[in-house]
Amino acid sequence: MANNINRRAVMTLFSSPNCAMSHCARFVLHEKAVTAEVEFYDPNDPPEDLLELNPNGTSPTFIERELVLYDSRIIMEYLDERFPHPPLHQMDPVSRANARMIIKRIDEDWYDQLAKILSSGEKKASQAKKVLRESILSAEPVFAARPYFMSDEFSLIDCTIAPLLWRLPSIGIDVTSSSEVIAAYAQRVFNRPAFKRSLSDAEQEMFELAK
């Protein structure tokens, strides 16, 4: 295992090209302008060197020397702490804890529905689409209150939301035509250079196919 790590770049992010959780980690990586190798792979056929480091072969998996992380939110937090500039969390403990709670709520309310849409039959997927769309639209006042989600500054929360919003048209969910506020927020984060750099070829195709 050590030999495989030593042969690699100092930092490597193994990533599925169309996984939203992996996209979140890639977004943070590019916001931090970290020099790292992003290795795309098919999660149904993970490479052997990844399996040696993470037997589950899950995406994303982040490697830095002997450190192996394979949870998107942990990777995001680690990158923000390892590379403190620009900060993507506020510095005081209360604000950081609140941000973590918001991300947990986004995962439970929105990402869980996305997972159901992608893995369920037509009937359950249709219901999950309805729930997800209504839940995002119900947050319109939050999107409207500040330039970024519950903040005046871009943060890890936005790195969490943007990959999900990017995927909505490709799975048949339209929120932007019903909310100019959410549409403006989406464009604000999609236009960030780091977000554009974070897109895999498959994710760029999602946008094209949804037109």
Are residues 104 and 77 part of one domain?
no
Neighbouring CB atoms inside 10 A of 145's CB total 13
Please say which residue of 82, 111, 144 terminates a domain.
82
Planar angle of CA 83, 63, 8, nearest 5 degrees: 110
- % of the chain with per-residue pLDDT over 70: 94
What is the spatial distance between Cα 134 and Cα 119, in angstroms, rounded to a whole number? 20
What is the spatial distance between Cα 185 and Cα 176, in angstroms, rounded to a whole number? 9
Residue 104 lies in a domain: yes
pLDDT, residue 5, reads: 45
Structure tokens at 61: 């998996």
Sign of CA dihedral 147, 153, 154, 157: negative
CATH number assigned to the domain comprising residue 130: 1.20.1050.10
Model confidence over 56-77: pLDDT tens digits? 889 999 999 889 999 999 999 9
Please check the confidence at residue 211 and state whether its pLDDT lies above 60.
no
What is the spatial distance between Cα 107 and Cα 73, in angstroms, rounded to a whole number? 10
Are residues 18 and 114 part of one domain?
no
Are residues 121 and 71 part of one domain?
no
pLDDT bucket at 157, cuts 50 / 70 / 90? very high
pLDDT, residue 6, reads: 47
Average pLDDT, whole number, for the chain?
92
Is residue 167 a contact partner of residue 17, using CB atoms and an 8 Å limit? no
Are residues 116 and 71 part of one domain?
no
pLDDT, residue 10, reads: 81
Is residue 165 a contact partner of residue 205, using CB atoms and an 8 Å limit? no
Across the range 103-107, mean pLDDT stands at 97
Is residue 103 a contact partner of residue 160, using CB atoms and an 8 Å limit? yes
Residue 190 lies in a domain: yes
